[in-house]
A = this chain, B = another copy of it.
Amino acid sequence: MHIVAVGGSDAGISAALRAREVDPGVEFTVVCADAYPNFSICGIPYYVSGEVPHWRNLAHRTYADLEAAGMRLRLDTTARKVDVAARRLHVTGPDGAEDVIPYDELIIGTGAVPVRPPIAGLDAIGPADGVHLLHAMDDTFAIMRTLEEAAPDSAVIVGAGYIGLEMAEALAARGLAVTQVEQLGQVLPTVDPELGTLVRAELEGHGVTVRPGTTVREITRAEAGAPGPLRVTAGTADGEPVTLHAGLVLVVTGVRPETALAVSAGASVGVRGAIAVDKAMRTGVPGVFAAGDCVITHHRLLGETYLPLGTTAHKQGRVAGENATGRRIREFAGSLGTQVVKVFDHAAARTGLKDAEARTAGFDPVTVACQADDHKAYYPGSHRIAMRFTGDRATGRLLGAQLFGHKHAEVAKRVDIAATAIFHGMTIDDLSDLDLSYTPPLGSPWDAVQMGAQAWARQVSPLTADLDRVLR
């Protein structure tokens, strides 16, 4: 039995590890388009900032670790075509030579590529000029070359999602004057605007200039004598022109699924053009699974969506690898869009749906804002956590939770408690019933998430919040 994965990132490597774990007799080949298998892409900002001293540290596992786990790696090798009938993968190797890899089962984990937004000049300008996209290690090396060789003193970051925020912190840590431009009206649009405002304050408190509601139109080399070598021309929502100059421009406005190989093999696409797969990660093409940032995401509250995340790619890859062995059919349990980002000294975390998403999805959401301490305020070092709990008005079902607090206020693991509760369809009121841990230096008799749940229940329906429980 020979399984081949295309893609050496989270999905492909997880598939290989799990397949070999489930069936140590299976042969597994991972075809990796670059020379950096199993790298932690999410760690790039911390290499750029200098907190991670060497890029090799970003490898989840070394090449030797991966080989020791029993997989064969084909680096710098590009998958060109799938011969579905013959179960053969056509590839181009590092020396340009064509090759054919026979397989019994194929797992496509081609990931995503950065979106190139419609910005004039973006095609004519690039890393050599200090204008960068960021997704893979090669992009990282290019950014580091700009930082080291051109030594820019300022940067414009186009996009204020997770990576944009992390890169703002990284570049600010390196001493650059950073301007963050976001087309939408807030930074971190994956949380409600009220928490976005807190994230913005954190950025500004660390010297980042934040320009939400601003669309970049053009990036060009600036004229001689300009305040910086690159000129970014933008406009606000009400048409006011904005001109910025910088030594480095980073465009991080999201990703789109890389589906060419799968589509050429006959796979269908679904939401946002991602490869359609069932929960067992089957594409429907005989012998072809797919997983990771290239496929649709089964979401426990939304059904099929597209929500590329490393955590999800690991899980989907694991399912694909297990199922490809033919030993059993496991299903991906579904995403809740659980995410956290550290922004300087704070962290913002979310799970489930934010208010607008819940409304779009057909719920009748109520979102209640509240605050609670991470631990008893009498014990030194306590921090206030800002929370937003979203629940369905009619059923009281917990739909989402968003937390913002100090990086040591355990907001990530607290959102995980909510994620575990949503996974099981709990009502918000039920959260209070959970038996959670307490000691004054690390919590409260009612944990912050329970205080948030009680605030929601009080506001929404003080006397009927748990009607459901009474009746059942």
Interface residues of A (CB under 8 A from B): 10, 21-22, 40, 42-43, 46, 51-52, 57-58, 60, 162, 166, 300, 309-312, 314-315, 318, 327-330, 333-342, 347, 349, 351, 376, 378-380, 407-408, 410, 412-417, 419-421, 423-424, 430, 432-443, 445-447, 458, 462-463, 466, 469-470
Pick from B162, B337, B423, B445: contact of A434, CB under 8 Å = B423
Query: Hey, which chain B residues are within 8 Å of A315, CB to CB?
Result: 432-433, 435
| CB nearest to A440 among chain B residues | B43
User: Would you call A330 and B52 a contact (CB within 8 A)?
Assistant: no
Pick from B51, B330, B380, B410: contact of A470, CB under 8 Å = B330
| CB nearest to A307 among chain B residues | B435
CB distance from A412 to the nearest CB of B (A): 4
Pick from B51, B338, B349: contact of A379, CB under 8 Å = B51
Interface centre among A328, A342, A379, A420 (most CB of B within 10 A): A420
Q: In whole angstroms, how far apart are the Cα atoms of A328 and B407 in the complex?
A: 41
User: Would you call A22 and B413 a contact (CB within 8 A)?
Assistant: no
| CB nearest to A408 among chain B residues | B408
Pick from B335, B407, B410: contact of A413, CB under 8 Å = B410
User: Would you call B407 and A410 a contact (CB within 8 A)?
Assistant: no
User: Would you call B440 and A40 a contact (CB within 8 A)?
Assistant: yes
Query: Hey, which chain B residues are within 8 Å of A438, CB to CB?
Result: 42, 309-311, 339-340, 412
Q: In whole angstroms, how far apart are the Cα atoms of A162 and B447 in the complex?
A: 19
Known A-B contacts A46-B378, A416-B447, A432-B315; the reply to A330 vs B437 at CB < 8 A is no
Q: In whole angstroms, how far apart are the Cα atoms of A447 and B413 in the complex?
A: 9
Query: Hey, which chain B residues are within 8 Å of A378, CB to CB?
Result: 40, 43, 46, 52, 57-58
CB distance from A21 to the nearest CB of B (A): 7
Pick from B58, B336, B434, B440: contact of A416, CB under 8 Å = B434
User: Would you call A437 and B314 a contact (CB within 8 A)?
Assistant: no
User: Would you call A46 and B440 a contact (CB within 8 A)?
Assistant: yes
Q: In whole angstroms, how far apart are the Cα atoms of A438 and B436 in the complex?
A: 21
Query: Hey, which chain B residues are within 8 Å of A43, CB to CB?
Result: 376, 378-379, 440
CB distance from A404 to the nearest CB of B (A): 13
User: Would you call B413 and A416 a contact (CB within 8 A)?
Assistant: yes
Query: Hey, which chain B residues are within 8 Å of A417, CB to CB?
Result: 413, 416-417, 420
Q: In whole angstroms, how far apart are the Cα atoms of A312 and B330 in the complex?
A: 38
| CB nearest to A470 among chain B residues | B328
